[in-house]
């Protein structure tokens, strides 16, 4: 076993060397954390913003301003993935800002907000407005200072599955948002078990709208408390609303250890 276990480590080292990723802090590579959430732009669907990274910047942030003719100041700031939002205030630095904990060690930051749109501790969906763009704190003008962190370490920002470049000035790189464009919505989970009923409401006597024959990839749009279900050795009264099946399933059948799913808003 010992000999076999050495092989993946050597392969990983070789990969890091030839992709140039060795400069990334080791902690960010060695966590074994789950894959990053499917992050989307921190501003509304269809808007085009330009971004840059300046040398005095903290961590691996990018600063965004609009480049589609619309006003940057006051533009909605959106959660780039589902999670739990927390308000912060740092008048001499980040200003009013929100952090969103996405689970799995992943957190995003949104600095210099003019106003908050959610209470601290709120569960937010991907694309939900969490604030408005401003220039509070140490800021020379309205912009969104945005970061993606894994276990507190700033990561190179990935949006819609693509790593963004880090230009030193604006108007070299642009990003058009797909956040909240519709068709999306909900947080991906997998179900387990077979013959799992999806019901019209979070009640055991609600009509069955469909049955999941086996493990199924689903998108959960919200959750609420309903009838207590005892099944498979578990007891739980939380139910998830499934986007594509348009009905509720007991959280017992969602593959997640928590009775109430993290990062999913209440219905």
CB of 106 to Zn ion, least distance (A): 19
Q: Which stretch binds Zn ion (CB under 5 A): 39-47, 95-103, 139-147, 210-218?
A: 139-147
Of residues 78 and 221, the one with the C-beta less far from Zn ion: 78
Of 138, 141, 59, 146, residue with least CA distance to 91: 138
User: Helices in the chain by DSSP H: which ranges?
Assistant: 2-19, 26-29
Candidate list 145, 155, 226, 241; residue touching Zn ion; CB under 5 A: 145
Question: Do 212 and 248 form a contact (C-beta atoms < 8 A)?
Answer: no
Of residues 97 and 106, the one with the C-beta less far from Zn ion: 97
What is the rounded CA–CA span in Å between residue 209 and residue 99?
Answer: 37
For residues 193-252, which are near Zn ion according to CB under 5 A?
A: none
Partnered with residue 85 across adjacent β-strands are: 100
Residue 112 within binding range of Zn ion, rule CB under 5 A: no
Of residues 61 and 65, the one with the C-beta less far from Zn ion: 61
Residue 63 within binding range of Zn ion, rule CB under 5 A: yes
Question: Do 166 and 180 form a contact (C-beta atoms < 8 A)?
Answer: no
Of residues 40 and 145, the one with the C-beta less far from Zn ion: 145
DSSP-derived 3-state class of residue 9: helix
Size of the residue set binding Zn ion (CB under 5 A): 3
What is the rounded CA–CA span in Å between residue 30 and residue 98?
Answer: 27
Which residues in this chain contact Zn ion in the complex, by CB under 5 A? Answer: 61, 63, 145
């Amino acid at each position: 076993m010992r000999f076999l276990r050495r092989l993946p480590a050597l392969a990983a080292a070789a990969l890091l060397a030839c992709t140039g990723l060795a400069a990334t802090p080791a902690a960010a590579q060695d966590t074994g954390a789950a894959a990053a959430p499917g992050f989307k732009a921190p501003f509304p669907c269809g808007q085009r913003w330009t971004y840059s990274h300046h040398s005095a910047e903290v961590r691996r942030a990018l600063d965004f301003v609009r480049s589609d003719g619309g006003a940057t100041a006051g533009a909605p700031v959106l959660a780039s993935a589902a999670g739990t939002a927390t308000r912060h205030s740092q008048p001499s630095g980040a200003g009013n800002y929100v952090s969103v904990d996405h689970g799995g060690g992943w957190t995003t930051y949104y600095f210099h907000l003019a106003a908050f749109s959610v209470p601290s501790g709120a569960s937010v969906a991907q694309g939900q407005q969490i604030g408005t763009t401003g220039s509070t704190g140490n800021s020379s003008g309205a912009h969104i200072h945005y970061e993606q962190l894994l276990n507190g370490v700033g990561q190179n920002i990935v949006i819609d599955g693509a790593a963004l470049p880090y230009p030193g000035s604006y108007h070299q790189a642009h990003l058009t948002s797909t956040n909240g464009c519709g068709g999306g919505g909900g947080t991906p989970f997998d179900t387990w078990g077979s013959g799992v009923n999806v019901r019209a409401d979070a009640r055991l006597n609600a009509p069955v709208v469909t049955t999941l024959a086996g493990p199924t990839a689903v998108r959960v749009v919200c959750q609420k408390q309903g009838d207590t279900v005892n099944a498979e050795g578990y007891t739980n009264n939380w139910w998830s609303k499934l986007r594509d099946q348009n009905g509720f399933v007991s959280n017992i059948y969602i593959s997640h250890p928590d009775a109430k799913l993290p990062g999913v808003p209440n219905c």
